[in-house]
Amino acid sequence: MNTPIRSTLLVLALVAVAAASAWPAPAAANSGPVVRLFPTNVLEDIRATTQVAEAMENSLQDIIRRMDMQQQLYTESLCEGADGDQGCERIARQIGATYLQMLEVMSDRLPQMEASVASTRDSLERRLREELGLRTTPTSLQDSLVGQSPTIAAESQPALRGRSGVRLSDRFKQYQELVTTGRNGQSQSLAVVASDIYLDMADASLLIAATRQEIARTALMEQLNQSFGVITPEMAKVVGGVKQILFGEVVGDGPIAAPPNAIGEPDYVSPLAM
C-alpha cells in the first residue's frame, strides 16, 4: 500500500477513534442482553480513547487548515510547473514542512492511541462474545433485532458499514445518540450499534499498526523532498483525503425509507407466524 493511502487510512482510523467525545455516563441499565453490551467499563474505555483522539484531531485540523492555505497560495501564484522560481520553491518547502509536522503529530500520539483503541475493541469484543455469542440463540438474536419499531426515522439510523461515506465523527455522533435512545428502549438495536463500533475499532487497530510501520519511512522521504522543494502528487492526495475526512460532507446512501403503514388497517397476524 502506498504512503498517501496509508496516511489517509490512518486519519480515518483516528477520527473513528474519536468516537463521540461526549458519550453520556451510563444510565441505569435496562434488563436484557443487548443493554449489557454497553456497561460502564466499555463507555469508560471509549471516553478515554476519545480524550486521546480529540487532542490529536484538533492538532491535525490546525495543521490541515494551514496546509490548505499554503496549497491555495501555491496554486494562486501559478507555481504549477514553474520550475526554478524561488518563491514557488519556498512555498513548496513550507507545505512540505507542514506535511512533516502532520506526520510528527501522528507519530507522537499513535502509541497511546493504539493502546486505547485496542482496549476499547477488546472490551466490546468481550461483551459481544458473552452477550450475543454465548448467551443468545440465533432465534433470540433475530427477535432482538426485530424487537424495535419497524418505522425508525431514516435520519436516526446510522448507515451500515461500508455504505456511509459520511464523515466518521458524524457517524459516531449518531452512535452516541443511538446508545442514549436505545437505553430508553426507543430506537435501533444496540446489538447493531455495538457491532458497528467494534468492527470499526478492529479496523482502526490494524490501520494504526500499519501506519506506525510506514510513518518513519514516509517522514524520511519527505525530508529528502525538502531538499528539493518538491510538492509530490502523493502529498496533494493525502491532504485532499484528510480534508475530506475532517471537514468533508460526503453523504452516502442511507437505508431506503419505508412508507407509513395504511392508517386504520391493523396488520394481520397469522397464527402461523413465528
Partner 1 sequence: MNALRMLLLLVAAHVLAGCAAEATDACRGQLGGTLDSAMVDAESRLANGCGYEFERYFGELLTIAEANPDRRNAQHFSEFLLRQTAAGTISRRTAEGLYNRYFNIKFVSLQGDYNTCSQTCPVRARVLSTMQTELKDKELGLLRVSNDPASFYRADHLYKEAELVLEATCRACEAGNGR
Binding site for partner 1 (CB under 8 A): 124-126, 128-129, 132-139, 141-143, 145-146, 150-151, 160-161, 189, 191-192, 194-196, 198-199, 202, 255-262, 265, 268, 270-274
Measured distance CA(42)–CA(35) in Å, rounded: 12
- By CB atoms closer than 10 A (0-12, 13-18, 19+), residue 258 is exposed
* Shortest reach from residue 181's CB to partner 1, in Å: 16
Give the CA distances from residue 144 to residues 16, 33, 36, 134, 194, in Å, rounded to whole numbers and listed in that order: 27, 9, 13, 15, 13
Given the complex with partner 1, which of 35 and 192 has the nearer CB atom? 192
Measured distance CA(59)–CA(48) in Å, rounded: 18
Measured distance CA(40)–CA(27) in Å, rounded: 9
Given the complex with partner 1, which of 78 and 146 has the nearer CB atom? 146
Given the complex with partner 1, which of 136 and 226 has the nearer CB atom? 136
**Closest Cα to residue 53, out of 169, 219, 173, 165?**
169
Contact 34/189 with Cβ under 8 angstroms? yes
* Shortest reach from residue 162's CB to partner 1, in Å: 9
Sequence length of the chain is 274
* Shortest reach from residue 257's CB to partner 1, in Å: 8
Given the complex with partner 1, which of 68 and 125 has the nearer CB atom? 125
Contact 192/145 with Cβ under 8 angstroms? yes
* Shortest reach from residue 46's CB to partner 1, in Å: 16
| Residue 221 in grid coordinates | 522521504
- DSSP annotation of 36 reads G
* Shortest reach from residue 244's CB to partner 1, in Å: 24
Given the complex with partner 1, which of 64 and 132 has the nearer CB atom? 132
* Shortest reach from residue 178's CB to partner 1, in Å: 13
Given the complex with partner 1, which of 84 and 260 has the nearer CB atom? 260
| Residue 260 in grid coordinates | 407509513
* Shortest reach from residue 169's CB to partner 1, in Å: 20
| Residue 158 in grid coordinates | 446510522
Task: Return the number of other C-beta atoms located less than 10 Å from residue 271's C-beta.
Answer: 4
Given the complex with partner 1, which of 21 and 195 has the nearer CB atom? 195
Measured distance CA(64)–CA(98) in Å, rounded: 8
